[in-house]
Amino acid sequence: MQIEAVRGDITTQDVDVVVNAANSTLLGGGGVDGALHAAAGPRLLEACRRLRRTTHPDGLAVGDAVVTPGFDLPARWVVHTVGPNWNRDQRETADLASCFARSLELAVEVGATSVAFPAVSAGAYGWDVDEVADVAVRTVRAWEAGSEPADEAGHTHPAGVELVRFVLFSDAALAAFRRALDAPHR
């Protein structure tokens, strides 16, 4: 699997899946969430409202993920994941790692070979971008290695994902992810 970090706009990525750093309501917000909803068009909001009416009436839990079509995006699907909010004392790295693992699981389920991630929980949710980068890269590498049938949270490992691209919003975030990618595997 190729793992890379680029500076760019996640809404324009030509990949099978883009990951949305969503809030638990699934009804749009600011940052990546707002940008993806705007770029995907109104059908994305309707799909999220349908999820709220059916499978997720109480919203999406921290660390979990759900998939919708990408509608007007270049990506075929959007995987919405809710990262932990540091500012609300949600500081478990396992919850953050789960965002990346669950997103990859759903990408595999829909047959995706390429996935673009933002820096989930960095920015408005207050996590240090270096920590987000470290957790994200370690989680994806664990998936790539697939050395165990499932991790401690019960997440399965990938089949078919060929590209994971971290699409970062700033030079500082890009530098953090490049440092994490350059770090020796643990």
pLDDT > 70: percent of the chain = 92
Given 9, 14, 33, 130, the catalytic residue: 33
Q: Is 151 a catalytic residue?
A: no
Cβ(61)–Cβ(78) under 8 Å?
no
In the chain the domains, ranked by start, together with CATH numbers, are: 2-182 (3.40.220.10)
Paired sense of beta strands 77-82 and 2-7, if any: unpaired
115-138 pLDDT tens trace: 999 999 998 899 999 999 999 999
9-25 pLDDT tens trace: 999 999 999 999 999 99
Distances (CA, A) of 136 to 38, 50, 76, 133, 181: 26, 29, 22, 5, 10
Distances (CA, A) of 99 to 58, 103, 135, 185: 18, 6, 10, 20
Cβ-proximal residues to 34 (8 Å cutoff; 6+ apart), any chain: 28
Cβ(143)–Cβ(104) under 8 Å?
yes
